[in-house]
Amino acid sequence: MVVDTQNERPMHRIQLNKVGIKNLKTFFITERSGVRHHYIPTVELTIDLPADIKGIHMSRLVESMTEIISDEFSVHDSVEDLQIRILQALAERHLCTHGEVRFDFEFGYTSRTPASKKRTWEVCDVTATTIMEEGKPIRHSVEIQVIGNTVCPHCMANNEGLTHMQRAIGTLNVVGVTEQIPNYGDMIEVIEGSFSSRTYSLLKLEDEMYVTKKMHDNPLFVEDVCRNILQGAKEKFSVRTLEVSAEARSLESIHKHDVIAKGRIVTNGD
């Protein structure tokens, strides 16, 4: 006979809002419109715990996830779809009013160099979270980080055109219900279009000259990049009501520290 320690009374009757697993690594495949993507996410999967129950059954969380991912040849529709099904399987096994699953992963995509038009391979960081709450529609948060650059307009205006520039990181986060979530490619496009210039893994000399000229023609503070991302999201995802937040971070070439700008808006399709 099994002693069900988890169902005992806890020493202190305090409700906990997130209990579960973190830093679990797994792997799966999605396919949409004939394009396959492979993921090796780091997973956080949590539920809430009432004040009068001692613990959750941790193994059921992993089991729900494992069952839904199924086997290594299974192909899923999308990260969001997979996350919804994991939370649904979890809700059947556990009494909970709140479930949340988060994947952190690297996402690869292809591009073309700006002048020589050669193929390049780029990778960005994505955090995709799905939240299921009793009495509310399922919601998703998708956050993408892409590397670009900034060029200082203040220095340029005061220094006979000479200025400093540097690597920068743009982040776009959207929160909404399933139908509102943009695809990753569109989000990447908004971020890349917000920098002084986008960056590429491969640049031939003509491309390097193109990018360098573009940077000098388009000097931007982190404040500008952050606002560009917010405005770009507003325009591109205009038919939806989304919570949008953005951050631009510049790895200053003249300092040892970074500079940042953060903001948020709500898009409105009306």
* 145 contacts a second copy (rule: CB under 8 A): no
Applying CB under 8 A, the span of 76-84, 88-96, 133-141, 164-172 interacting with a second copy comes to: 164-172
Kindly report the length of the chain. Answer: 270
- By CB under 8 A, residue 230 contacts a second copy: yes
**Between residue 176 and residue 205, which ones bind a second copy under the rule CB under 8 A?**
197, 199-205
Cα separation, 139 vs 68, in Å, equals: 19
**Residues binding a second copy: number (CB under 8 A):** 102
| Neighbouring C-beta atoms of residue 52, cutoff 10 Å | 12
* Interface residue with a second copy, options 9, 31, 32, 38 (CB under 8 A): 38
Binding residue for a second copy (CB under 8 A) from 9, 15, 112, 186? 15
Return the residues of window 53-92 that contact a second copy according to CB under 8 A. 54-56, 58-59, 62-63, 66, 69, 71-72
**Residues 10/53, Cβ–Cβ less than 8 Å:** yes
Q: Does 267 bind a second copy (CB under 8 A)?
A: no
Minimum separation from the CB atom of position 88 to a second copy (A): 19
User: Shortest approach of a second copy to residue 192 CB, angstroms?
Assistant: 11
Name the minimum Å distance from CB 220 to a second copy.
Answer: 9
Query: Using the rule CB under 8 A, is 209 a contact of a second copy?
Result: yes
Instruction: Please name the residues in contact with 143: beta carbons below 8 A apart, sequence gap of 6 or more.
Output: 126, 127, 128, 171, 172, 173, 174
Q: What single-letter amino acid sits at 156?
A: M
- CB-based contacts of 93, cutoff 8 Å, min separation 6: 57, 60, 63, 64
Give me the helices (H) in 151-221, please.
153-158, 184-192, 205-217
